[in-house]
Amino acid sequence: MTDITFNGRVFPCADGDTVLEALTKGGAPVASSCRSGVCQTCLLRAVAGPLPEAAQKGLKDTLRSRGYFLACQCQPTAPLHIEGPGADAAPLSATVCAITPLNRDIVAVELRCTDLPLYRAGQFINVFRDPQTSRSYSLASTPGLDPHLTLHVRKFDQGRVSSWIHEDWRLGDTVTISGPVGECFYLPSNPDQPLLLLATGSGLAPLYGILRDALRHGHRGPIYLYHGSRHEDGLYLGNELRGLARAHKAVHYHRCVSQGDVRADLRLGRVLDVALADHAEVKGWRAFLCGHPDMVKQARKRLYLAGVALKDIYADAFVRAPA
């Protein structure tokens, strides 16, 4: 048991509880979404007291050095004085400027942001339905190529945020988003390294941005993109991706379905299995894994065991927010 002082009030924190849990139990709820250390919605700042290492994992050095931490990952072992995040995490306003269906349940949403934040293709933003309810959506746009931020949003029935986006958003609406977050992006440091991009469903969004970003930076090594879904109608952007593969010899695009018939342009199997069947030797490659948490988890492990270095595995698991 230890104490947390938040905005001048003292909250008891039971052993094993996170700061997020302690503040919520004490009647001072903090906005949060994924509660697994990914979305950075619950960012707070420590002004005094030691922070466990896990509480700052994945944060930029600039935030880390100023005491920022994730409330959902912080199990304090000694008294902690904390404050709200202030300007660094202040939400931004954006205008909905295009909504385009990509397939039966995914739409592309373009957002115009007057202070377009600096971002890297593959990062994500959080979309706020209200100050307590937000969800993460990856950026499919590429800085320097696209004028706006683009999201690919898959509709979930009864989804608090995704259904709202699909049903209620209209062109010209002003919406509230966070700045760009996340570490899943392309770095131009090793332009000859083969890249393996595995996506399921709307996990294509960040990889579409990363693929075009790598090409824009003059990546020379081969780029293998595997996009998977249960059925063919879950795939999308096929024409654009085939076009990229035709225009760039280095780009190889594979459409995978886990059920249905095999056809010339369609591979049968899950993305990871298909990719590993094609490539026995992946040592020294860089991998980007986005979409279903199970795919990301398995791919991380099998690619690592196959010889991909931990530092060369970039991933965003689209984890669900708890009810």
Ligand X SMILES: Cc1cc2nc3c(=O)[nH]c(=O)nc-3n(C[C@H](O)[C@H](O)[C@H](O)COP(=O)(O)OP(=O)(O)OC[C@H]3O[C@@H](n4cnc5c(N)ncnc54)[C@H](O)[C@@H]3O)c2cc1C
Q: Rule CB under 8 A: which residues touch other proteins?
A: 53-54, 57, 297, 300-301, 304-305, 307, 309-311
4 near 11, Cβ under 8 Å?
A: yes
Q: How far is CA 258 from CA 206, 273, 318, in A?
A: 22, 10, 19
304 binds, among ligand X, other proteins, none (CB under 5 to 8 A by kind): other proteins
Chain residues 185-204 in contact with ligand X, contact rule CB under 6 A: 202
Q: How far is the CB of 68 from other proteins (least distance, A)?
A: 19
Chain residues 105-124 in contact with ligand X, contact rule CB under 6 A: 124
52 binds, among ligand X, other proteins, none (CB under 5 to 8 A by kind): none
CA 302 – CA 39 distance, rounded (Å): 25
Chain residues 28-57 in contact with ligand X, contact rule CB under 6 A: 34, 38-39
Positive or negative, the Cα torsion across 240, 216, 207, 107? negative
Positive or negative, the Cα torsion across 64, 67, 72, 78? positive
97 binds, among other proteins, ligand X, none (CB under 5 to 8 A by kind): none
Instruction: Give the nearer residue to ligand X in terms of CB position, either 166 or 254.
Output: 166
Q: Residue of minimal CB distance from ligand X?
A: 159
89 binds, among other proteins, ligand X, none (CB under 5 to 8 A by kind): none
CA dihedral 154, 95, 124, 237 (to 10 degrees): 50
User: What binding mask, one character per residue, do residues 157-176 give for ligand X by CB under 6 A, x or -?
Assistant: -xxxxxx-------------
Instruction: Give the nearer residue to other proteins in terms of CB position, either 110 or 316.
Output: 316
DSSP 234: G
Q: Over the range 209-228, which residues count as b (16 or more CB within 10 Å of their CB) and which as e?
A: bbbbbbbeeebebbbbbbbb
Instruction: Give the nearer residue to ligand X in terms of CB position, either 115 or 167.
Output: 167
| Sole window of 57-65, 93-101, 148-156, 306-314 interacting with ligand X (rule: CB under 6 A) | 148-156
Closest CA to 20 of 10, 8, 32: 32
Q: Should residue 320 be labelled a site residue for ligand X when binding is judged by CB under 6 A?
A: yes
Instruction: Give the nearer residue to ligand X in terms of CB position, either 80 or 135.
Output: 135
Two structure tokens written together for 32: 């949060």
Q: Should residue 220 be labelled a site residue for ligand X when binding is judged by CB under 6 A?
A: no
**Which residues, other chains included, contact 92 with Cβ-Cβ below 8 Å and sequence gap of 6+?**
113, 115, 117, 176, 177, 178, 179
Residue 81 parent element (H or E): strand 80-83
Interacting residues toward ligand X by CB under 6 A: 34, 38-39, 124, 135-138, 152-154, 156, 158-163, 202, 205, 316, 318-321
